[in-house]
């Protein structure tokens, strides 16, 4: 069974916030009630759901053109034909001025973005903010001179399994489509498409092209952004996942404030899941909670008194089943205040108050390595607390880390991965990005590289 982000990819041949009240839940008492229609809800929500068209220009590179003799007789790389690659998804208008939220994977790498309203009108849009950690992006309609229909956010924490929901989007590019189902499960943490694993699962039909579309409740409010499906065939098989509205609200708020990145609270502690073996050691009846593995010095966790071996069981009264649940609950807290966390320590429940502040991000010094070397096409940065938090690195890690890889770059082709920490190159210690940039420019027939991946040190030897 494959996990598929539900958007459609086409080539050049094809042109292409106030909390809601809980739903009124009751069993129908008559046949007449069973014949009631969803039409009023759809008519209210549909105008705020848009189609998103993204396009980027890609170069068809022929490796033979790296040969100077071939270039002399047959042309140069600049003369290669270009190809337009297009993707299709959905989005939701969340501000009357023309602010649209969609999935990051729908518009990733796009040179041009357009949106189309339910009434077929099209507008060019600009990317305001991208957040790969949640797979969300915010767009703004260019030269918007009207007030657009919008969807209000619901409080996604009020959803219950069994609640009726509607999915609105543009599956397979056929046009705006509405499907209905129920909330099949909440707090799904093993989906694997974003850093924050806390999804709403629904059996409402979601297909390629639905990505970024709305999941709405029976009050017509937005409870989630549809983002992925489990499927063997590529089509809907009744298992779809949506990002909860409370997380979407955080990303949209950052965009409205003018930020280019989402600001989130930083704990400054590494958490691990409680296995049955750990639960038995701690004397727990169930393997629930998030176990503190280590605490970074001078971090909010350290100042609050959190200690290694503490077991986090709740935040602001909400039960924590695993580290993913904590990450989501903590990330959706508002900056500037404090969060009360319940921990079990020595058989007793202790309450600690953690200040909600962002991670320090000094001396990141991001660069893209372009010299001919195994690192060509890698984007690297110095490890700051913010970088460590973003990449789930040890909070006390030091050095230079790969934060992105260009498609088709040498670094990607030789097997470097996002999150790899480069410790040494040809016996030269790498402490900062300028060290790696300098080392990558030294011609060598053999490259001896020391990398840390997933906490394990790896010695790599590559031919030049």
pLDDT at 176: 83
Which tens digits make up the pLDDT trace of 325-351? 999 999 999 888 899 999 999 889 999
Confidence category of residue 230, pLDDT binned at 50, 70, 90: low
Across residues 47-72, what is the average pLDDT?
66
pLDDT in tens, 278-307: 988 888 888 999 999 989 888 999 999 999
Predicted confidence (pLDDT) at residue 5 exceeds the cutoff of 80: no
Architecture of domain 367-463: Roll (2.30)
Q: Is 231 a known ligand-binding residue?
A: no
Q: Comparing C-alpha atoms, which of 296, 287, 288, 290 is closest to residue 272?
A: 290
Q: Work out the average pLDDT over 245-257.
A: 92
Domain 269-355 adopts which CATH fold? Answer: Pdz3 Domain (2.30.42)
Active-site option among 87, 105, 163, 342: 105
Domain extents for the chain? 1-16+40-260, 269-355, 367-463
Strands (E), 98-198: 99-103, 112-116, 122-131, 136-141, 164-169, 177-188
Least confident of 247-261, 385-399, 421-435: 385-399
235 is in an annotated binding site: no
Instruction: Judge whether residue 1 has pLDDT over 50.
Output: no
SS3 call for 101: strand
User: Is 392 designated active site?
Assistant: no
Report helix, strand or coil for 226.
strand
For the range 179-185, what are the long-range contacts, defined as Cβ-Cβ under 8 Å and sequence gap of 24 or more?
Answer: 179/204, 179/205, 179/206, 180/38, 180/204, 181/205, 181/238, 183/159, 184/238, 184/239, 185/161
Q: Tell me, what's the pLDDT at 363?
A: 84
Domain boundaries 1-16+40-260, CATH class: mainly beta
Give the separation between CA 42 and CA 93, rounded to whole angstroms: 15
| H helix intervals, 332-401 | 385-390
Residue in the structure block whose two tokens are 């934060």: 403
Three-state DSSP state, 279:
helix
- Band of the pLDDT at 44, cuts 50, 70, 90? very high
pLDDT at 86 over 50: yes
Q: Would the annotation count 459 as a binding residue?
A: no
**Cα 9 off chain centre by:** 19
pTM above 0.85, yes or no: no
Does residue 105 have an active-site annotation? yes
Of these residues, 156, 211, 373, 440, which one is catalytic? Answer: 211
pLDDT band at 154 (very low <50, low <70, confident <90, very high): very high
Catalytic, out of 95, 131, 135, 163? 135
Helices (H) and strands (E) in the chain, counts: 11, 27
The average confidence (pLDDT) of the chain is 83
Q: In the numeric block, which tokens belong to residue 182? A: 């129920």
Question: Do the domains 1-16+40-260 and 269-355 sit in the same CATH topology, yes or no?
Answer: no
155 known member of a binding site = no
Is 211 annotated as catalytic? yes
Opening angle at CA 103, ends 320 and 265, nearest 5: 40
Q: What is the mean pLDDT of residues 396-403?
A: 87
pLDDT digits (tens, 9 = 90+) for 404-448: 888 888 898 888 999 999 999 999 999 999 999 999 999 888 899
pLDDT for 38 beyond 50? yes
Lowest mean pLDDT across 60-64, 165-169, 227-231, 232-236? 60-64
For residue 79, pLDDT over 60 is answered with no
Question: Is 105 among the annotated ligand-binding positions?
Answer: yes
DSSP secondary structure of 397-426: --SEEEEEE-TT-HHHHHT--TT-EEEEET
Q: Where residue 174 falls among pLDDT bands split at 50, 70, 90?
A: confident
The three-state secondary structure class of 71 is helix
pLDDT band, very low/low/confident/very high, at 171 (cuts 50, 70, 90): confident
Is the confidence at residue 8, as pLDDT, over 50? no
Beta bridge partners of 183: 202
Q: How confident is the model at residue 4 (pLDDT cuts 50, 70, 90)?
A: low
The listed range with the strongest mean pLDDT (5-14, 258-267, 391-400, 433-442) is: 433-442
């Amino acid at each position: 069974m494959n996990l598929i982000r539900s958007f459609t990819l086409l080539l050049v041949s094809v042109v292409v916030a106030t909390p809601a009240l809980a739903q009124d839940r009751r069993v129908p008492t008559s046949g007449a009630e069973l014949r009631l229609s969803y039409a009023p809800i759809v008519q209210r929500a549909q105008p705020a759901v848009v189609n998103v068209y993204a396009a980027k220009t890609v170069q068809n590179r022929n490796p033979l053109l790296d040969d100077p003799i071939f270039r002399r007789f047959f042309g140069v790389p600049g003369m290669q034909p270009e190809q337009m690659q297009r993707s299709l998804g959905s989005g939701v208008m969340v501000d009357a001025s023309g602010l649209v939220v969609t999935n990051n994977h729908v518009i990733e790498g796009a040179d041009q973005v357009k949106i189309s309203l339910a009434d077929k009108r099209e507008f060019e849009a600009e990317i305001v903010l991208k957040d790969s950690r949640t797979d969300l992006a915010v767009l703004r309609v260019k030269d918007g001179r009207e007030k657009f229909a919008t969807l209000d956010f619901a409080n996604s924490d009020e959803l219950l399994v069994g609640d009726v929901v509607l999915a609105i989007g543009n599956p397979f590019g056929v046009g705006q489509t509405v499907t209905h189902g129920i909330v099949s499960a909440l707090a799904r943490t093993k989906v694997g498409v974003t850093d924050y694993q806390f999804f709403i699962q629904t059996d409402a039909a979601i297909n390629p092209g639905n990505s970024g579309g709305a999941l709405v409740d029976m009050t017509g409010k937005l409870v989630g952004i549809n983002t992925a499906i489990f499927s063997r065939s590529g089509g809907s098989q009744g298992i779809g996942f949506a990002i909860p509205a409370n997380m979407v609200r955080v990303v949209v708020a950052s965009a409205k404030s003018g930020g280019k990145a989402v600001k989130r609270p930083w704990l400054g502690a590494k958490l691990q899941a409680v296995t049955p073996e750990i639960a038995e050691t701690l004397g727990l009846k169930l393997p629930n909670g998030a176990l503190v593995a280590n605490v970074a010095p001078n971090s909010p966790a350290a100042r609050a008194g959190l200690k290694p071996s503490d077991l986090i069981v709740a935040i602001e009264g909400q039960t924590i089943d695993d580290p993913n649940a904590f990450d989501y609950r903590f990330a959706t807290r508002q900056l500037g205040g404090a969060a009360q966390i319940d921990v079990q320590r020595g058989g007793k429940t202790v309450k600690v108050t953690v200040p909600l502040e962002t991670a320090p991000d000094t001396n990141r010094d991001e660069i893209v390595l372009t010299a001919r070397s195994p690192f060509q096409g890698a984007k690297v940065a110095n490890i700051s607390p913010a970088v460590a938090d973003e990449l789930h690195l040890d909070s006390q890690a030091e050095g230079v880390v790969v934060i992105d890889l260009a498609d088709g770059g040498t670094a990607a082709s030789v097997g470097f991965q996002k999150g790899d920490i480069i410790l040494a190159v040809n016996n030269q210690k790498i402490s900062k990005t300028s060290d790696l940039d300098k080392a990558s420019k030294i011609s060598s027939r053999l490259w001896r590289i020391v990398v840390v991946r997933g906490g394990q040190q790896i010695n790599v030897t590559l031919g030049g």
